[in-house]
Amino acid sequence: MSTSTYVVSGMACGHCADAVTEELERVPGVTAVRVDVEADRVTVTSDRELDLARVRAAVEEAGYELTDPGPEQGVDEAV
């Protein structure tokens, strides 16, 4: 399992979180999405390495802007 955290700007409420979650869950390989609206962060768990372009496209489809992943990116050893 792989976990990546992204900064997403423009989110302000639970509806925003739902929209981003819905679009990211459509990306192949995504197994879980956790959104922290107050921190402008989205953590995505996947069963493979994700293509940043697909993640960015999903966030933009929801109406928000993705910045490049921060240092909180890695592989979860407990599979």
Per-residue pLDDT for the chain (79 aa), expressed as one digit of tens each? 899 999 999 999 999 999 999 999 999 999 999 999 999 999 999 999 999 999 999 999 999 999 855 545 444 444 3
Does residue 74 contact residue 2 with C-beta atoms inside 8 Å?
A: yes
Give pLDDT, residue 68. Answer: 59
Instruction: State pLDDT tens for residues 30-50.
Output: 999 999 999 999 999 999 999
**pTM of the predicted model, to two decimals?**
0.84
Closest CA to 24 of 13, 41, 74, 73: 41
Give pLDDT, residue 79. Answer: 39
